[in-house]
Structures are given as structure tokens and as C-alpha cells.
Chain A
């Protein structure tokens, strides 16, 4: 069955450093890989999408890489800030009208 793994433990990073989150998947050939941010009591908020034929995508302080050979995506937040503290979710889709398959998420804590 399809499986998505993200760091299950909380990730503590000092403010100003780069936070790197990992998403690994098995038994899946996604057309798209997406990253979302979820704050307590809120729905996920879309951050970045990367396609299977793309290696890297950037948006402001965010960077996503996608290695379909390793079946892995890395999500980077540079110059991290306490406001970046949240749970970050990795999600895969086959494209078209598909819904998303989510990982459990990584809880990121940026320490001032």
C-alpha cells in the first residue's frame, strides 16, 4: 500500500538557522508532491507544489527538492523565524481530479 513517512518527532531549530524536513514515500508514482502548513485548530494551508519532472522549487524563504529515484522530498525554510513554528505536511497526488495522500506531518519548533 502507499506509504508516506515524515519525521514523526518534533524538530527544534534555532531562529535564523535553516530547517530541513524530509518526506519519503513508497509504492507510489506521484505526478505532484505538495507541502502544506497546518496550525492548531486550522485546516492545512498550501505552500509549494513540485512536479515529477522538476528537481527544485523556490518561494521566498522556502525551497523544495524532489528526487523521484530516491522517492524523497526535502523541504527547507531558510532564516527561520518563531512564526514558522507549525506542523508541515507532505502530500502526494497522481494529478487530474485526484485527492491527496498525506503524511502525518512534522511538528517544527523555531526557538527564539
Chain B
């Protein structure tokens, strides 16, 4: 199965700043997915990133807050912009494989 390297693994950021999370896959994939897991909550899909086109955002998530880049078939970034303490969460990227999805190990973000 694909191996996903996600970084940073954790960060503590000041409110009002932005953080860019990187996801590198060891094989070419068409779709990459970004999720958020708030404390005690389920994983929630933020957006789907397809190489060569704009990301598709789920209800409640907007491009200005969570801009995504997908420059090639093995890499994607998610930026959390103008952060507030409510953005404190774990952010994960994921790719679909023949059966099931593979996830990165996540980025634990704390906004102070």
C-alpha cells in the first residue's frame, strides 16, 4: 500500500498566523483527501484535491480558510489560514487505494 509522509507532525501556532501542512505520497495518486479530527470527534472531510484542478470543498469549509495545492500526483499541501483556537485539531491527508484508504500520521495543531 502507499506510504504517506505528512509534516509537520505537530505545531503550536499563534492566533492570526497560517500553517501549511505537507503530504508526500510514495506513488502517483489521482485524488488526495484532507480531513480534520477535532478533540473527541470523528474525522471530517475538508476537501478533495485533484491534480490540475481546483480542490472540491465540503460544506462548512472554504478555500480562503483552507487553501489547498496539488502541484503533482504525489504531493499536496493544506494551509490553515488566519488561525484561531477553534482550529486546534488534528489534520490528516489520505489517498484511496484499490480497497480502503491510506492515511498520513496526522498533524496535531494547537493554536494559542
Give A50-107 interface residues, CB cut-off 8 Å to B.
89, 91, 97, 99-105
Count of A-B contacts with CB under 8 A? Answer: 58
- B111 sits at the interface (CB 8 A): no
Q: Are A99 and B103 touching (Cβ within 8 A)? A: no
The size bracket of the interface on B is 20 to 34
Closest B residue to A47 using CB positions:
B100
Digit string of A2-44 for contact with B (CB within 8 Å is 1, else 0)?
0010000000000000000000000000000010000001111
A102 to B41, CA, bound (A): 10
- What are 18 A-B contacts defined by CB distance under 8 Å? A41-B105, A43-B6, A43-B92, A43-B94, A43-B106, A44-B101, A45-B103, A46-B97, A46-B100, A47-B100, A89-B42, A91-B43, A99-B33, A100-B45, A100-B94, A100-B101, A104-B41, A105-B42
Residues of A bordering B, CB below 8 Å: 4, 34, 41-47, 49, 89, 91, 97, 99-105
